[in-house]
Amino acid sequence: MAVGIFDSGLGGLTVLDAVVRQLPQVPFVYFGDNAHAPYGVRDADDIFRLTCAATERLWEEGCDLVILACNTASAAALRRMQETWVPPDKRVLGVFVPLIEALTERQWGDNSPPREVAVQHVALFATPATVASRAFQRELAFRAIGVDVEAQPCGGLVDAIEQGDEILAEALVRSHVEALRRRMPRPEAAILGCTHYPLLEKTFRAALGPEVKVFSQADLVAASLADYLRRRPEFLGPGTETRFLTTGDPAQVSDRATQFLRRRIGFERA
């Protein structure tokens, strides 16, 4: 009954931590493609190829359901995977859906026409590849009208987080928030559109100010996954063991993951 969690690096551990709290009885297999991180500077075909390879590895671990806990992969590869590649007995889901459900206050299965929502000015902080895909704006437009989204590509931020350079990461957050505010001085809401960014949520909140509602993905994804599995328990795969896999150096990745989650995490080579 294992579920797969995939990210290009360590950011997806923020999602893993939340889903483990929500679903303590479910074993999870985490796959970090650390050897090829970051994905945010790669082209769409490259992201698709790498994401498919990681997903197949998680299927081998008995994970019939795989969560792309990576906004870049969700933006650049997920739709193509679902339409052309994923077999009927498997499911691959992304992390945009729970965010848009929360922002528009409507369930994903609600197929009524787009309508006005309470929030009109939204700041999106994401990787360059996620911003370039415009996937968030496309999915939002199916459900809401009149929402102005200003996207800020946060170059260098994932690298700084992965390298553990907290001073540089915080400086980059302040710089990116300042750059966005020059184009959108008064956002009502901010989307942290990368699973690495919750590690710096306090810095984002401080830079944005208390009047901006910040949407962070981990808890939203966890609640959405729990609801999905209640409705579709057949996609709890045959896997039974919690494991942590990486394409990078297991010892190095384990040390960084332990710093991320403040508990010991042991990675194996994928």
Taking only the tens place, the pLDDT of each residue in 3-35 is 999 999 999 999 999 999 999 999 999 999 999
3-state secondary structure 85-154: CCCCCCEEECCHHHHHHHHHCCCCCCCCCCEECCCCEEEEEECHHHHHHCHHHHHHHCCEECCEEEEEEC
pLDDT given for residue 102 in this prediction:
87
Per-residue pLDDT tens for 130-142? 999 999 999 899 8
Q: Which domains does the chain have, with CATH numbers?
A: 3-95+218-269 (3.40.50.1860), 97-216 (3.40.50.1860)
pTM of the model: 0.90
- Residue 194 is a catalytic residue: yes
Q: Among positive and negative, which fits the CA dihedral 160, 216, 136, 26?
A: positive
pLDDT given for residue 217 in this prediction:
86
Secondary structure of residue 221 in the 3-state scheme: helix
pLDDT given for residue 104 in this prediction:
87
Q: Average pLDDT for residues 39-52, to the nearest whole number? A: 95
Residue showing tokens 């483990």:
20
- As a whole-number percent, the residues of the chain with pLDDT over 90 amount to 81
Residue showing tokens 């928030």:
177
- Residue 70 is a catalytic residue: yes
Whether the predicted pLDDT of 246 surpasses 90: yes
Secondary structure of residue 68 in the 3-state scheme: strand
pLDDT given for residue 139 in this prediction:
87
Whether the predicted pLDDT of 109 surpasses 70: no
- Which one from 52, 63, 154, 194 is the annotated catalytic residue? 194
- Which one from 52, 63, 70, 154 is the annotated catalytic residue? 70
